[in-house]
Amino acid sequence: MNYFRGRGSWDLRAAAFSGHSTQLIRYIESIMEDAATTIRKFQSEGKNVSQFDYIVNMENYNVVQQGCRQCLPFYVTLVNSAESHYPNLANKIWLINTPPIFQVVLRLLRPLMSPVTQEVVKVFGQDKVKWKKALIEIADKSQLRPEYGGTFMQDKE
């Protein structure tokens, strides 16, 4: 199952300095809970679904807004929450348009991830040809949004 929710870029630094990190973490947790609920709904309908594929577009990631020292607790809390409350929920977590600097953050977070989670996280750089080709190999075009090389259209939230 491919799961889409939320768009745009977030200023984690502003959230950290304004005391809104907790609300942002709750929002991310609500995304994970929605995915888990959707999976349970599909299962109750007799569909063979137990995990989802999550595509994270890192296009607007920058060190100042999302990679600052004050932002790191957000990432740590996010990984810990996912591992504690939603283990093995994701079949694939693909980070696309990922700038090289994010590898530093990811190296800090990988030890917090279970071996299964470490295995499902795949990082694709900013070469759209490469990551679009990879996405098409795991998902039908009808399941991917146009910006990911597909034809799927969803109502705006």
Model confidence at 9, in pLDDT bands (50, 70, 90)?
Answer: low
Tens digits of residue pLDDT in 55-86:
888 888 888 788 888 888 888 999 999 999 99
Task: Report the distance separating Cα 12 and Cα 1, nearest Å.
Answer: 28
Phi, psi torsion values for 23, nearest 5 degrees? -65, -40
The band of 7, judged by pLDDT with boundaries at 50, 70 and 90, is: low
> In this predicted model, what pLDDT tens digit does every residue of 77-133 receive, in sequence order?
999 999 999 999 999 999 999 999 889 899 999 999 999 999 999 999 999 999 999
Has this prediction a pTM greater than 0.85? no
CATH of domain 12-148: 3.40.525.10
Q: Which residues is 4 bridged to in the sheet?
A: none
Average pLDDT over the chain, rounded to whole? Answer: 87
